[in-house]
Structure 1
Amino acid sequence: MSESTGRLPALPVTFRPARTRAVLHAAGIALFVAVSLIGLLLKQLGPGERISFVFTAALLAGVLFLLARPKVVVDEDGVTVVNIVGRRRLEWAQILRVNLRPGDPWVFLDLSDGSSMPVLGIQPGIAKARAVDDARTLRALAEDRSTAGPGTVRD
């Protein structure tokens, strides 16, 4: 959302921690290459042990790729929250409040069923200003859509 104009972004829009994601992907690839090369270059290892090095490298890289998975996809009908191992679709009416308080590791959604849901796709770790802006935009979209009703086009 542009602070100067107050206009909401065109939907659909995706929020994700881009820098964190880039770091995790780079680390996963580097880890896979390094561990695999070590396993393949050690002459005293047999074929099974070499395969286990590559398998272990793939497993460790896979964990880093899972950590890079979180995102929030916002469209006219609601919000899809993708966390590390789960995905949940929310209608606009289910979202009561979007919270990112000082010290929070990520955004939390207060839901109409009385629960709170973590949204790892917006986290202030490496890029705090970006996360705060994304949280404000998601809050403005939730407020706009929950009062307008699903599918309502606003000017």
Structure 2
Amino acid sequence: MPETFDLPRLPVTFRPGHTRAVLLTAGVAIFLVISGIALLLELGPGERLTFVVTGALIFWVLAQLARVKVVADDTGVTVVNIASRRRLEWAEIVQVNLRPGDPWVFLNLTDGTSLPALGIQPGIAKQRAIADARALRALAEAHADGRPEQDQG
């Protein structure tokens, strides 16, 4: 029996909210601790600066990990991963997958490749990730059904 599902209003952004909060909180805490240690120790200005820069670098890495998201709008999907950003038209998405054990959603594309979408990941909030994956799948299917059929002549 097909699952009934209310489509989310577009545009919609999917992010791993709990994971993002943990990463950003850890980044701020690490930066503050390392900077505090630099101020407490008897160090020269260059050494203190090195501590602060190291803390800032660690925060930056954690912020990059926290920036992942999937944004769906009327014309397609933008996938922002750790080091990349890719815009997809709805017609390019064949299937949205989140199988048991997958670390995140995978988008099967018309060119035969699979694109990981780290913005939906079942790490800390598994039920939220499952709901987000279902919503993205429903959006992709709804837009697939709305496309004009080009193969028929």
**Mapped partners of 2:6, 2:115: distance in 1:** 26
Q: Please, which runs of 5 or more residues in structure 2 have no aligned partner?
A: 149-153
Matched residue, 2:32: 33
**CA deviation string 1:75-129 (max 9, x = no partner):** 0000000000110000000000000000000000000000000000000000000
Letter in 2 for 1:9: P
Q: TM-score, normalised by structure 1?
A: 0.92
Identity %: 67
Contact 2:5 2:138 survives alignment (8 Å): no
Q: Please, which runs of 5 or more residues in structure 1 have no aligned partner?
A: 151-155
TM superposition shift of 1:6: 2.4
1:1-80 equivalences in 2 (<5 Å): 6-43=5-42, 45-80=43-78
How many residues are matched? Answer: 146
TM superposition shift of 1:7: 1.7
**Mapped partners of 1:27, 1:140: distance in 2:** 34
Q: TM-score, normalised by structure 2?
A: 0.93
- CA-atom RMSD, angstroms? 1.2
Moved over 2 A (4+): none
Letter in 1 for 2:31: F
**Mapped partners of 1:16, 1:144: distance in 2:** 21
Matched residue, 1:110: 108
